[in-house]
Amino acid sequence: MELQEFHACTKLLLQAFAVVDADGSGKIDEVELRSAMKALGFDMTKEETRKYIRENSKDGSTLGLKVCLTEALRMLASFRDCLLLENSTA
C-alpha cells in the first residue's frame, strides 16, 4: 500500500469513527455501536454489543462499556472475521 493510500484509508476510518461517536467523547459506547450496526443492517442485541466491547477493550473492562479508536478497529477486524467465517461455511 502506498503512503497516499494509507493516508486516505486512515482519514476514512477517522471520519467513520467520528460519525459513530455521536457524543464526541472519543469513545464508542454500546448505544452508539448498536445504532451504527443497525444502520449497516446488523441488528445486535445488548448482550452481543457488550460482548464485542468486552472482547476488544484493552483491559477487558466492562466499566463504562466503551471503546477507543484502536479498540474499535480491533472490533471491526473481529466482526469482519466472523462474517468471512459465516460466508465460508454457508
pLDDT in tens, 27-71: 888 899 899 889 989 898 989 888 888 877 765 555 556 777 777
Q: Within a 10 A sphere around the Cβ of 20, how many other Cβ atoms?
A: 16
- Going from N- to C-terminal start, the domains of the chain cover 3-89
pLDDT at 38: 92
| Weakest-pLDDT range from 13-17, 38-42, 81-85 | 81-85
Q: What pTM was estimated for this model as a whole?
A: 0.66
Considering 3-12, 23-32, 75-84, the range whose residues carry the highest mean pLDDT is 23-32
Q: Within a 10 A sphere around the Cβ of 33, how many other Cβ atoms?
A: 23
Nine cell digits for residue 12 = 476514512
Q: Which CATH number fits domain 3-89: 3.30.565.10, 1.10.238.10, 3.10.20.30, 3.10.129.10?
A: 1.10.238.10
